[in-house]
Amino acid sequence: MGASLDNLPVELYLAIISHIDPDDLQQSLVSLSLALPRSPVPTSILFEKPRLRKTEQILKLYLRVRNAPQDAALTHSLSLECWTIDADVFVNLIALFPNLVNIAMYIGPNFSPEHLEEIFVLPRPKLRFLSMRFRPYVQRATYYQFLKGAYFDSTLLVLSRWPPQPLPTLSIVQDPLDPTLAPSNFAQPLVFHRLNPLTDLAVSPICYNLKYFRFRVPSRQFTRHLHARPNALPSVELLDMSTSNVSIRDLEGLLGHLPSIQTLVVDGCPIVTQRTDIQVAVGEPFLQWMELGQTLALAGVKRATEREKSLRTWMDNYHARKQQEEVQTGGSSKRPRKGRKGLATAAFSLRAPSPERKGDGEVTISEERIPRNGQRVRILPSPPALCSVATSFPGVVTPDIYEAVKTEFERGWAAGIARLSSIRLRHKTSYQNGIARVVRFADHGSSEWEEERVHGEQGLAGLVDVIDVNEFALDIVANDGAEGSARSGHQCPRLCLAGSVRDANHVEGCGHRKGWDIFKDEI
């Protein structure tokens, strides 16, 4: 009797399947199981990572697993990759999978905010990867969204209400309007109306451990919402804001408040002007790249200066108010005048009682965390943690242009690090001479770091004293390790100008490549 494929062990099929490209795995398994119906093809793999690329697949999968919870329990990754679907069926389908670790969704014009609210109203504790890609554009003018107020702001709020969980990767992307897919001669639907909910999301429990965050809203300004409150996005290492309206000043404020960022991806953002020809005419064709490098290196200085100013203002107000209270308390009380006082001291009032209000200047932080009156306090600016900047160049990038831009960027970074080092050394002198009390920003997760969330910028909330003189110095080394360069132990970040095109000339280890690996796409 000849050998039969039906008698092959399942381990052999698993070995064969391991060599199939992931993009072809689903269809290959279906074809194999149909061609060999009596062989032990491990079709259970079909339920582990279903990729829904056609509308009809959604209903078929729903009908298959709604009465088979054992199959639904196998699913740990779900990818919706078609734009026009029956959103109600998909909502019912995703509710059947209790063990999802990865969720990636295309959200087209058939989705409403209520659909996403229903999907995310209950937390998913096992979730580690969430990607939502919005493309709500339509072929014909419709004002339903505008009249109903059908925006996805509520999605951010629903996610911000989740309890703490380790969610390292979150991607929320609105595709830019493509005139070949949707007309641009009428107002297309918006994804987000107001971006204030982004502030709530940035300080929410699920963002406490968030490491990789991609948030793209074409031509919209939102960076201030990312750091509007203390302790926002404390663990983010990679931030992708491509296609959004992000300027060089936005980056300066962002890096000052989010010091953990190591990789920035800002394709299509106006961090430099498009009019490089103006600077060419004055002999400085790439001056803005030098300014960019310097600004990124000095982001910690701007943050320290702002906090010093707010601390000084708060201290002046606090001690002035305290002195005034002491004078009033120590003064003699006035003798009451004789005579009728009438309704001024009536036992009752016809007016409704006003709600009790706390004074605007109410102090909640402990006194030991308040500098004494007249004490000079300086804040040590933090060194940059940035390692990679990935963006697109406003024009054609030749090898010569890239080298010129890179040189200017590194020159600006070196100048910024030199200035940062100088400021820190001045603070060291003040500290050693007893001229000023020098503090620094508290480490992430410490009790002093938590203070700022509770007390705001009262007193020394979020700050700790510098007690080791070695904290003032920067290890200034050049690329070859020689001392004396203005490059600090924090080397100049890698600069990639290739944009989002995969086959372009990318810098090794750039933010583009890292983002493709993390977010599992190439947009």
400 and 457, same domain (yes or no): yes
Task: Give the sign of the dihedral formed by CA 492, CA 493, CA 498, CA 499.
Answer: negative
Domain-located, residue 93:
no
Whether residues 207 and 252 share a domain: the answer is: yes
Q: What percent of the chain has pLDDT over 70?
A: 77
> Please, which pLDDT band fits residue 329 given cuts at 50, 70 and 90?
confident
What is the Cα–Cα distance from 351 to 338, expressed in whole angstroms?
27
Residue where one domain finishes, among candidates 271, 303, 331: 271
User: Do 267 and 284 lie in a common domain?
Assistant: no
Confidence of residue 177 (pLDDT cuts 50, 70, 90): confident
Does 199 map to a domain? yes
381 plus 247 within the same structural domain: no
- Same domain? For 383 and 521 the reply is yes
Q: Which residue has the higher pLDDT, 145 or 65?
A: 65
How far apart CA 33 and CA 19 sit, in angstroms, is 17
pLDDT at 57 over 80: yes
Q: Return the amino acid letter for 200.
A: D
Shared domain check, 260 and 310: no
User: pLDDT by residue (tens digit) across 200-222?
Assistant: 999 999 999 999 999 999 999 99
- 406-451 pLDDT tens trace: 999 999 999 999 999 999 999 999 999 999 999 999 999 999 999 9
Residues 422 and 478 in one domain: yes
3-state class of 240 per DSSP? strand
pLDDT at 356: 42
**Residue 138 confidence (pLDDT):** 64
Q: Which of 155-159, 278-282, 380-384, 403-407 has the lowest mean pLDDT?
A: 278-282
**Predicted pLDDT of residue 315:** 94
CA 477-483-485 angle, to 5 degrees, is 65
Domain span including residue 183:
101-271
Among 210, 238, 271, identify where a domain stops.
Answer: 271
Q: Is residue 352 part of a domain?
A: no
- Mean pLDDT estimate for the chain: 85
DSSP assignment, residue 272?
A: S
Whether the CB-CB separation of 376 and 437 falls below 8 Å is answered with yes
Q: Sign of dihedral through CA atoms 31, 35, 37, 38?
A: negative
282, 380: one domain: yes
Tokens 């069926």 appear where?
Answer: 89
Alpha-carbon distance of 25 to 97, in angstroms, equals 21
Strand partners, 262: none
* pLDDT band, residue 350 (cuts 50/70/90): very low
Percent of the chain whose predicted confidence (pLDDT) is above 90: 66
Q: Indicate if 228 and 276 belong to the same structural domain.
A: no
Q: Which phi and psi (to 5°) does residue 430 adopt?
A: -60, -35
Considering the domain architecture, whether residues 150 and 278 belong to the same structural domain is answered as no
Per-residue confidence (pLDDT) for residue 354, from 0 to 100: 44
Does residue 226 belong to any structural domain of this protein?
yes
- Locate all alpha helices (DSSP H) within 66-172, ordered by sequence: 69-72, 87-94, 113-120, 144-148, 153-160
Q: Could you read off the pLDDT of 439-490 as tens digits, one per residue?
A: 999 999 999 999 999 999 999 999 999 999 999 988 655 444 444 333 345 7
In a domain, residue 341? The reply is no
* Mean pLDDT on 341-366: 56
Looking at the fold, whether 209 and 294 belong to one and the same domain comes out as: no
- Whether 430 and 301 map to the same domain: the answer is yes
Q: How confident is the model at residue 66 (pLDDT cuts 50, 70, 90)?
A: very high
> How many distinct structural domains can be found in the chain?
2
Q: Is residue 66 part of a domain?
A: no
Q: What angle do CA 23, 128, 261 make, to 5 degrees?
A: 105
CATH number at residue 135: 3.80.10
